[in-house]
Structure 1
Amino acid sequence: MSQSLSRALDLLDFVSRGVDSLDALAERAGVHKTTVLRLLQTLESHGFVTRDAAFRYHVGSAVFSLAQSALEGRDVRRVASPTLQALGASTGQTVHLATYESGTVTYIDKVESRQPLRMYSRVGLPAALHATAVGKVLLGGLDDAVLRRIADGIDYERFTDGTIGTADDLIAEVRLSVSRGWAQDHEEHETFMNCVGAPVFGADGKVAAAVSISVPNVVLPYADVLALLPVLHEATTTISAELGFTGSAPFIPPAPLRKDTHG
């Protein structure tokens, strides 16, 4: 850890404990006041500390926002875990839980499949917004202006021939996913893998997370992956209710496909 970062974190800790003047912070940190002032100005510019009219420092709103986001993410994972485990056990396939924060979709939980061929993913890694079912589900929780801004800023890396390549196409797919209550990754991120995802809603009625089921083609054909949607919807409905959601989530199952459908 760099010395400046270490000192800044120490100052934030001191402020949180009630050390609020420049002189007292410099004394506690054991460094010159000019150095402390420079670090406090950086922390203040990012909202981690604030200074009142008497030049006393206090914890800023960014700290509370960060803590709230962390708690919400942890709560979703804790609440969802038993249902995710049950979903993985009943289907035998890979199950993911993902959340959205500031333009990034991140896997926060995973239940491994019982299959020898598994999807490469790991808790803590980001998911491609334009090429994953969870990405499309979580983009569906944004308002139109934010969705457009995020979609326009994506680097549309071409993972397979089926990968969405433009902002307009992604927005259209996201809106379709919202209307039917589920999203898909039909060989869009990996040529051998199909995924379906559905939203989890919080007590405020907003999309809090996304759950997906991922299946290799050699295990189930595309039509049979779509046939897992009712049990996925049942799982997300359970998690949403446990988070305090009292509304009803849209769910329009797909029309039956022939078992030999490969896209």
Structure 2
Amino acid sequence: MSQSLQRALAILGELGEGPKSLDELSVTLGVHKSTALRLLQTLEADRFVRRDDRHQFSLGSRLFELGTASLQQHQIRDVAMPHLEELGKATGGQAVHLAMLENAQPIYIGKVESTHAVRMYSRIGLPAPLHATGVGKVLASELPERRLAEALAATDFRPFTANTITDPVAFGEVLQKVRDRGWAEDSSEHESFINCIAAPLRDAGGTIVAAVSISVPDVTLSRDEVHALLPQLLEATAAIEEDWAGMSRSERSHHRLKRTP
């Protein structure tokens, strides 16, 4: 990857955290202000970045377009979201997430916000730690050996809380448990006040393509009470898989009709 491209992507990543000044960005990038300004002007010309009256830079409207296009390309999200919204309501307004694996990292592609005052920090498009989340464990649990090795090599096993799994061997044992029982949990491993359960979404061939989770603050429900939501979670994932399979069959039929002379 070229140095200019790396720096431009780094700018977008920094602005994803909030508006920044030219001085702040040049310090973060470790480059002269003139170099940072040239990159910013290029990004600004294509609407990836915008500048306000106070000379603060923030993300531009072009990224909204690309973000919308990206979500539209994740068809399983369109199928899943109505079920996830129902799941949120059925579980008393808990937060529900949909995640897929991308470059060895779970990425949130769908979220139903909790209706409670205490909420977890997560956003669509953000990565989640593989080793410290329920969705991460589900998505890693049945990876082929080579892909799992790559994912583990890319995981820093950073401790987020006292409960975070920081040893790859111990994480491997957890993945075996996920395979055996068909679901995963995050017991205050990413955020100290959140308990989570997660289950896979499989395609028609049985391959895990995404994961759905329910995340609950411990002031709302205990860990055992969160586990009690498992039947509702599995009912929702089964319904999504059924609709997803039906859509796939419909698309295959449509494709055959288009090719029929």
TM-score of the aligned structures, taking structure 2 as reference length: 0.65
Large movers: runs of 4+ above 6 Å: none
- 5 Å matches for 1:176-195? 176-195=177-196
- 5 Å matches for 1:33-52? none
SS at match of 1:223: helix
The answer for the alignment partner of 1:259 in structure 2 is: none
Task: Report the Cα distance in structure 2 between the residues aligned to 1:71 and 1:218, rounded to whole angstroms.
Answer: 33
Task: Report the Cα distance in structure 1 between the residues aligned to 2:154 and 2:167, rounded to whole angstroms.
Answer: 10
TM-score of the aligned structures, taking structure 1 as reference length: 0.65
CA contact (8 A) 1:147 1:171 kept: no
The answer for the alignment partner of 2:243 in structure 1 is: 242
SS at match of 1:126: coil
- 5 Å matches for 1:100-179? 100-179=101-180
User: How far 1:202 moved relative to its partner?
Assistant: 1.0
User: How far 1:71 moved relative to its partner?
Assistant: 8.2
- For residues 169-193 of structure 1, the C-alpha deviation after alignment (integer angstroms, 9 at most, x for no partner) is 1111112112101000001011110
Identical amino acids, percent of aligned pairs: 47
Task: Report the Cα distance in structure 1 between the residues aligned to 2:243 and 2:194, rounded to whole angstroms.
Answer: 30
SS at match of 1:219: coil
- 5 Å matches for 1:24-35? none
User: How far 1:146 moved relative to its partner?
Assistant: 2.2
Q: State yes or no: 1:213 paired with 2:185.
A: no
Task: Report the Cα distance in structure 2 between the residues aligned to 1:121 and 1:180, rounded to whole angstroms.
Answer: 26
Q: Which runs of 5+ in 2 are unaligned?
A: 6-69, 247-261
Q: Which has the larger radius of gyration?
A: 1
- 5 Å matches for 1:76-115? 76-91=76-91, 92-115=93-116
- Number of corresponding residues: 179
Task: Report the Cα distance in structure 2 between the residues aligned to 1:227 and 1:242, rounded to whole angstroms.
Answer: 25
The one-letter code matched in structure 2 to 1:86 is E
CA contact (8 A) 2:104 2:154 kept: no
User: How far 1:101 moved relative to its partner?
Assistant: 1.9
Q: Which runs of 5+ in 1 are unaligned?
A: 6-69, 246-263
CA RMSD between the two structures:
1.9
The one-letter code matched in structure 2 to 1:78 is D
Judging by fraction of residues, say which structure has more helix: 2
